[in-house]
């Protein structure tokens, strides 16, 4: 019955709010009124639930709130990638319901099942109605998700894994937002990503690819957080500790056996260099460049990832090509010598180097 009700809600939404093909008079005003009545009828019971009701009987209201969040997510998703008029109709009708949910959600924070639905719903809102809802409102909702994430962690259950997966998707959307108002989340997102989320990823490899997409997005879409465009010293790295920590996680991933992650991250590093000249940044050169070269040489010489040899060779070339000294041959020799020192026994090393 619940599934049927959700399907009906989505179907009615599509009929009411989407443009009618080959019809001149779209009757938007009438449809706006009908959709508001439909939302009030479907979610009227939710508006009657108070924070006190939740506190006194959490288990009683959890199934209902799960249903309402899932249904709202389905309805909002219908307006994604649609014309502005459809989005405006949906936003105007659901806004009172969403505002009421924001009041109730802190009282459900002990239930990880609810948090999973909240993440899905917030992700859909950010994707479909971020312009109509406004950055300030979404800021409040995303802030609620951030503050409650650590309260839901600690379990390695399937629910927890799914929750983290949806949280990663939400954070990736947030860090890609161009609006300056969302940039204030950057320090918190970096901290949660490198500590809390990374703990989950180490226990559940299925989350790895989406986690590294988030880290790549943190650097790519927030480059000015580390290298402000208007800075007098373009080489000086602000928030250097966070910058290095993110890249060190990238480097550690190249020493694992997950082919998909290694390929994805090698391409991501090259992308960061193409867009932002990562490989010539002084912070990278001083602290990380030699380590990355050694790891890539090890992957090439070990033959463990022959399918991505081309990507590895391209990245190694870009690392070497970014060397500012005119004698690039000396750079290659120095890098290769350091690598050999790290992997060969002393008696073999002396023979190799003499030749």
pLDDT tens sequence across 307-317:
888 888 889 88
pTM for the structure as a whole: 0.80
pLDDT at 6: 62
CA gap 207, 212 in Å, rounded: 9
Q: What is the pLDDT at residue 210?
A: 95
The top-scoring range by mean pLDDT among 107-111, 115-119, 259-263 is 259-263
Task: With beta carbons less than 8 A apart as the criterion, state whether 341 and 349 touch.
Answer: yes
Which tokens go with 6? Answer: 């959700």
Residue 298: strand, helix, or coil: helix
Note the pLDDT of residue 3.
46
DSSP notation for 268-279: HHHHHHHHH-GG
pLDDT band at residue 265, thresholds of 50, 70 and 90?
very high
Mean pLDDT (the chain, rounded): 84
Q: What is the pLDDT of residues 315-331, one digit of tens each?
A: 988 887 775 555 555 55
For CA atoms 195, 196, 202, 205, give the dihedral sign.
negative
pLDDT recorded at residue 202: 86
At 157, the pLDDT band (50, 70, 90 cuts) reads: very low
Contacts 24+ apart (CB under 8 A), 187-196: 187/239, 187/242, 188/146, 189/146, 189/218, 190/218, 190/242, 190/245, 190/246, 192/146, 192/149, 192/150, 193/218, 194/242, 194/245, 194/246, 194/249, 196/149, 196/150, 196/153
Q: How far apart are CA 90 and CA 35, in angstroms?
A: 8
Q: What is the pLDDT of residues 66-97, one digit of tens each?
A: 899 999 999 999 888 888 899 999 999 999 99
The pLDDT value recorded for residue 119 is 86
Element (H, E) at 86: helix 84-104
The answer to whether residues 76 and 94 touch, using CB atoms and an 8 Å cutoff, is yes
Residues 6+ apart with CB under 8 A from 175: 182, 185, 186, 189, 214, 217, 218, 221, 222
- Between 148 and 325, the higher pLDDT residue: 148
**Using one digit for the tens of pLDDT, what is the confidence trace for 191-250?**
999 988 998 888 888 899 999 999 999 999 999 999 998 877 778 999 999 999 999 999
Q: Categorize the per-residue pLDDT at 149 as very low, low, confident or very high, splitting at 50, 70 and 90.
A: confident
Banded model confidence at residue 116, pLDDT cuts 50, 70, 90: confident
When pLDDT is averaged across residues 250-272 and rounded to a whole number, the result is 93
pLDDT of 173 > 80? The answer is yes
């Amino acid at each position: 019955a619940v599934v049927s009700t959700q399907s009906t809600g989505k179907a009615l939404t599509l009929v009411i709010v989407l443009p009618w093909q080959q019809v001149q008079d779209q009757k938007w005003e009438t449809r706006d009124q009908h959709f508001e009545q439909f939302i009030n009828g479907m979610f009227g019971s939710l508006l009657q639930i108070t924070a006190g009701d939740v506190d006194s009987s959490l288990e009683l209201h959890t199934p209902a709130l799960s249903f309402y969040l899932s249904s709202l997510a389905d309805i909002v998703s219908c307006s994604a990638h649609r014309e502005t008029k459809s989005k405006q109709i949906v936003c105007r009708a659901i806004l009172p319901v969403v505002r009421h949910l924001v009041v109730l959600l802190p009282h459900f924070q002990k239930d990880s099942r609810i948090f999973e639905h909240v993440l899905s719903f917030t992700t859909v809102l950010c994707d479909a109605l971020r312009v109509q809802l406004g950055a300030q409102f979404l800021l409040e909702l995303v802030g609620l998700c951030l503050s409650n994430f650590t309260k839901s962690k600690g379990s390695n259950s399937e629910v927890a894994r799914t929750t983290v997966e949806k949280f990663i998707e939400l954070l990736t959307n947030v860090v890609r937002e161009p609006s300056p108002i969302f940039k204030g989340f950057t320090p918190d997102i970096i901290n949660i990503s490198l500590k809390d989320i990374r703990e989950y990823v180490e226990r559940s490899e299925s989350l790895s690819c989406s986690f590294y997409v988030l880290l790549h997005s943190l650097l790519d879409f927030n480059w000015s957080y580390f290298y402000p465009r208007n800075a007098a010293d373009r080489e000086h790295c602000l928030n250097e500790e966070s910058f290095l920590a993110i890249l060190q996680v990238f480097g550690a991933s190249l020493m694992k056996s997950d082919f998909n992650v290694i390929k994805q991250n090698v391409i991501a590093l090259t992308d960061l260099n193409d867009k932002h000249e990562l490989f010539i940044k002084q912070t990278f050169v001083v602290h990380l460049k030699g380590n990355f070269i050694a790891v890539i040489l090890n992957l090439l010489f070990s033959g463990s990832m022959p399918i991505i040899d081309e990507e590895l060779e391209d990245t190694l070339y870009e690392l070497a090509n970014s060397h500012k000294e005119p004698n690039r041959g000396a750079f290659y020799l120095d890098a290769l010598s350091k690598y050999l020192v790290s992997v060969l026994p002393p008696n073999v090393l002396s023979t190799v180097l003499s030749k």
